[in-house]
Chain A
Amino acid sequence: MASAAVQNKTPRKVLKKSTRDSLIAYSFIAPNFIGFCVFTLVPMVFAIALAFCAWDGRHAIEFVGLKNFVKLFTTDKIFQAALKNTIVYVIGTVPLTLACSLAMAVLLNQNVKLRNFFRTVAFFPYVASLVAVAAVWNMIFNPSMGPINMILNQFFGVAVENLPRWAAGKDTAMITVILFSVWKNMGYYMVIYLAGLQGCNPDLNEAAELDGANRWQQFWHITLPQLRPTTFFVVIMLTISGFKVYDQMYMITQGGPGTATMTLVYYIYNVAFVNTPKYGYASAISMVLFVLVLIVTIIQFRGSKGEN
């Protein structure tokens, strides 16, 4: 039936074949692309313009040039703390999550019993409702009553006054959030790595084993290079999601104590939606976030091109 349709079409071909193919291709892309333009591209462009303006949503928009940015980098102490915290969070979570998820994927890729069970359990925190698991996390890491500190106190002999204050401590709040994030998100990246491992060629490992390579050498010289595209993808996703972090802080530390876990997105939210909205100023912070992500993406893109 389909072939008959094509035979009918061929004689009265009006458009050049390449043009027609292009049009068909565009029709495939259109549904996603139109939605993407309206809800993503337009606001993006608007965001850039707004970063150079002052607007509270009620009065007229006022063009202020670079004033927003000057204020951010010279006098705004909260912004500077937020910028620093966001970078610390990324540096903390990316390598840790990557290592844990890769290790778990490699372990599961061995011939182990109960494989599905282990995989399901490792992936579940990622699907679990963030609010719910953050609530448990808050209780488990409760400085005065939580089981973690109870264990530290009773089994490891940490004196009550030396117990870490976790989310409530200025120095430990960020570590607590980082641990939580690694725990929560590891399973997602593990699944991506598992899929990547499925695509690896087992013949190469067998050949290497015959040549006397041990498991570690096989992993380092054969599996890991084959996983490079997967790792590239994972690093991109992890870094970008690290820069966007907000929910974890909102639920575990509320950005505190003080500004210890205030992040860029947290600050954008506060400036734009809490008290008197300052949309222009919030957009200026957004631009800083955008540039950060952009720099990382360009570095990674160049890096992956160089490797290939």
Chain B
Amino acid sequence: MSAAIIKTEASQKRRNFISKFLIYFFLIVITACMLLPFLWMLSSSFKLNKDVFGFPIQWIPKNPRWQNYVDIWTQIPLLTFVKNTVKITVVVTLLQLFTSSFAAYAFAKMQFKGKNALFLGYIATIAVPWQAYMVPQFMMMSSWHLNNTHLAIMCLQAFSAFGVFLMKQFYEGVPTELCEAARIDGLSEYGIWWHIMLPLSLPALSTLTIFTFVNTWNDFLGPLIYLTKTELKTIQIGLRMFITQYSAEYGLIMAASVVALIPVLIVFLSLQKYFVQGVASTGIKG
């Protein structure tokens, strides 16, 4: 009898070990697929063009070529591109956070006429691709002389339905009793939004921040259509211009790519801690 119990315990242990092993195996394989291209990029950025495709891959170059990182700043106005992108991204993210959480509060916690119809309208705009109306939008903007301005990019990025959707999902998880109690205590709806919902929704706000930031930072087609002057270009289209102009300068392209990645990496790593913590601690359902 006891032998049988010991046996099942042993097989249980073995099963646990195997499942742990499989979990780590798959995790490491996926992680390697994710990481290796970046390591290859970094290593290539320190190489001469002729050494970039050397095989077997020399992960740590024997004579790192720092000159690549000096040359890129003189070859293209990288700093201007970065500045332009930061400016657009910060403005869009702030606008997005404010307008989305504001609208989402009404959708999640208030009763009003036409609520369902309006919200359905928002869902529908997530479904309507921007690309389906980018042509008339561009003509409208140019008739207001907004083409070749950063304002145009900000306007078309800042009012997404996705943000409203995301924030509403989160707010619905916040107990309604909390709002009711605050209302009985005499807090106005604006007060509830500011004093109760915003502090509670920090995880959702940071999620929205990182997603908006990334979307705006990585936006390609918008700036490609609107910004044709070199001094207005964002990092994406600026880098792309460089890659097309110097298509065989592999080392330089990789160095410029690394430089383009660093700001995102820094923002991402510093925000990610907060972001992951937020999502994990309170959870998306509150």
From B37, B135, B211, B284, A286 is in contact (CB under 8 Å) with B135
A88 CB → nearest B CB, Å: 18
Interface residues on B, range: 35 or more
Are B186 and A246 closer than 8 Å at their CB atoms? no
Also in contact, A282 and B103, with CB within 8 A (given A43-B140, A129-B260, A195-B279): no
| Bitwise interface map of A from 112 to 156 toward B, beta carbon under 8 Å scored 1, else 0 | 100010111111111111111101110110100111001000100
Q: What is the chain B residue whose CB lies nearest that of A46?
A: B136
* Number of A-B residue pairs with CB-CB distance less than 8 Å in the complex they form: 280
Complex CA gap A150/B57 in Å reads: 10
B266 CB → nearest A CB, Å: 11
| Bitwise interface map of B from 230 to 265 toward A, beta carbon under 8 Å scored 1, else 0 | 000001110110010000001001101110110011
B234 CB → nearest A CB, Å: 10
* B-side interface mostly: helix
A226 CB → nearest B CB, Å: 11
Are B102 and A28 closer than 8 Å at their CB atoms? yes
Within 176-194 of B, Cβ neighbours of A (below 8 Å) are at 185-191, 193
Are A29 and B103 closer than 8 Å at their CB atoms? yes
Q: What is the chain A residue whose CB lies nearest that of B163?
A: A32
Complex CA gap A6/B189 in Å reads: 11
Also in contact, A147 and B110, with CB within 8 A (given A33-B103, A44-B133, A135-B253): no
From A6, A39, A47, A129, B159 is in contact (CB under 8 Å) with A39
Q: Which residues on A sit within 8 Å (CB–CB) of B112?
A: 21-22, 25-26
The verdict on A75 contacting chain B, using a C-beta distance below 8 Å, is no
Also in contact, A25 and B110, with CB within 8 A (given A128-B264, A135-B243): yes
Complex CA gap A292/B240 in Å reads: 30
The verdict on B161 contacting chain A, using a C-beta distance below 8 Å, is yes
The verdict on B100 contacting chain A, using a C-beta distance below 8 Å, is yes
List 18 additional contacts besides A32-B99, A135-B239, A264-B131; criterion CB under 8 Å: A21-B112, A24-B110, A32-B100, A32-B159, A41-B125, A46-B140, A118-B31, A119-B276, A121-B31, A130-B218, A195-B284, A236-B126, A243-B129, A244-B131, A246-B221, A265-B131, A279-B139, A293-B129
List chain A positions with a Cβ less than 8 A from chain B: 2-7, 18, 21-22, 24-26, 28-29, 31-33, 35-36, 38-44, 46-47, 50, 57, 100, 103-104, 107-108, 110, 112, 116, 118-133, 135-137, 139-140, 142, 145-147, 150, 154, 183, 187-188, 191, 194-196, 198-199, 215, 236, 240, 243-244, 246-247, 250-251, 264-265, 268-269, 272-273, 279, 282-283, 286-287, 289-290, 293-294, 297
What are some 16 contacts across the A-B interface (CB < 8 A)? A2-B191, A3-B185, A5-B188, A26-B106, A31-B99, A107-B27, A123-B268, A125-B34, A129-B264, A130-B220, A195-B283, A199-B283, A199-B285, A244-B131, A272-B134, A272-B138
